[in-house]
Amino acid sequence: MKKIIGTETEFGIVLKGEGRTDAVTSSMFLVNSYPYSLSSAPLWDYENENPLLDARGFEADGERERPGAEYNKLLNKPLSNGGRYYVDGAHPEYSTPECSDPKELVLYEKAGERILELSVEFANRRKQGEGRFSVYKNNTDHKGNSYGYHENYLVDRSVSFEKLSSQLIPFLVTRQIFTGSGKVGSDVRSDFIPYQISQRADFFEVLIDLNTMVKRPIINTRDEPHADPKRFRRLHVIVGDANMSEITTYLKVGTMALVLTMIEEGREVSGVELDDAVRSIKDISRDLTVKEKVRLSRGVAWSAIEIQREYLSAAEAHFAQCADPITREILERWRKVLDQLEDDPRQLTREIDWVIKLDLIESYMQRHECGWKDSRVAMMDLQYHDVVSDKGLYYALERGNHVERFLTPEAILAAQAAPPEGTRAYFRGTCLKKFPKDVYAASWATVLFNTDNGVIKKVPLMDPFKGDKERVGPIIEKAKTVEELLSLLAG
């Protein structure tokens, strides 16, 4: 498998105690407390960023973000692992570097959790008892507000957005049965919901739109490729939950990557179009049996498992001759998970977040003879997502070997500082590490260097597959100065 993938995670933040401030100020304090930020503080290059461009062919009204230099540095921390750590609205946010396969993506997303944990540790030291930060990798404050987890996939521009949308809507609405993080209660319905599969499902109101914060759509139309716009589009997926489980994240991005590859290569899944996708995403989230049916546009009703099996069958046929081990593993896990969900979801208490959390909470309720409305149960829901290792309930399950994983602590530690080797993130991250005082600014598609004569030189990175270690590693290693690097790149 070779598919450019990245994720953006907005983290929930709480500051308790005398030093409480507004969420934006707290988020900036936290981001600027990360102890391994680059001392030279390069700018983030906003020049080519325009989140107002719509894939339907127009530009929405609004102001593009263009912070001044000092505020830019407060908001943004380009990382030596090729990622970006920054403040987005009222939240600290971590974007992984561009990864070239789903396992690599899981590694760099987990590295982001450790970056946030270090930030919490050092922010609390700086507060010196005035207040204590807590940070959560979840999607809701349980007060009617949601914050995002966004997946990004590089897609061939020749595939029409209309085709992508029609093919993906049934898949995205139903995949929550194995990608949901689980949630106690409901944010938008008055009826009592003890527990549901997805943290995000409550918040989707329309089918297709550009918004990400109000009237959230199942398909987001942002057309901001961060790459050559004639060749690529970046599919910006906002419908997923932030996951703690390595296996859940792996399946989430892995199955999505396979489905996108199928669409790019001409294979379609037909007959699964939903009659009312916005209603279906909520109904599926509330069905812990995963067996209830939703209505299709052709007049029949299918379960989420049945719809997912249509995509799986198409993928198995499409990749039948593919020997890539990650592709084979994703297909096998996908089928096994669907089989177990159909038989009994409780078989997945080691792999799938919503089942892991449900089992944990129900065990607690049985021991303490309490119900779903008990405040301790709501707290457990939140604590499952705490990024501090000795506080987060998910990490406690990891330490007790109660959940399946495939990453090692050593690999996660290395990924906090070293970029992926197979994408342009290698060039960005390695230059930030080797020439920290000479990088004036960086973005996903550019690195700008200060030169001896005072001229800013821009190196464009419009193809995410280029700038990898194989192509530029020897050049960066040979160059002793930025001038030598630029000369070698030009030659």
Residues 6+ apart with CB under 8 A from 375: none
Indicate if 88 belongs to the active site: yes
Strand duo 301-303 + 293-295: pairing: antiparallel
The widest CA-to-CA distance across the chain, in whole angstroms, is 73
Rounded to an integer, what distance in angstroms lies between the CA atom of residue 429 and that of residue 157?
27
| Helix and strand totals (H; E) in the chain | 16, 20
Q: Are 81 and 416 in contact (CB under 8 A)?
A: yes
Residues 6+ apart with CB under 8 A from 477: none
Strand duo 439-442 + 43-44: pairing: parallel
- 449 φ, ψ (degrees, to nearest 5): -115, 140
Angle at 36 between CA 122 and CA 38, to 5 degrees: 130
The residues facing 93 across adjacent strands are 10, 86
Among residues 121, 378, 383, the alpha carbon closest in space to that of 244 is found at 383
269 three-class SS: coil
Strand duo 439-442 + 5-10: pairing: unpaired
Among residues 249, 243, 248, 199, the alpha carbon closest in space to that of 348 is found at 248
Rounded to an integer, what distance in angstroms lies between the CA atom of residue 81 and that of residue 97?
7
**From 45, 54, 88, 468, the catalytic residue:** 88
Among residues 107, 115, 130, the alpha carbon closest in space to that of 17 is found at 130
Residues 6+ apart with CB under 8 A from 194: 184, 185, 372
Strand duo 58-59 + 301-303: pairing: unpaired
DSSP string over 430-470: HHHHHSTTTEEEE-SSEEEEE-TTS-EEEEE---TTSS-HH
Residues classed as catalytic: 88
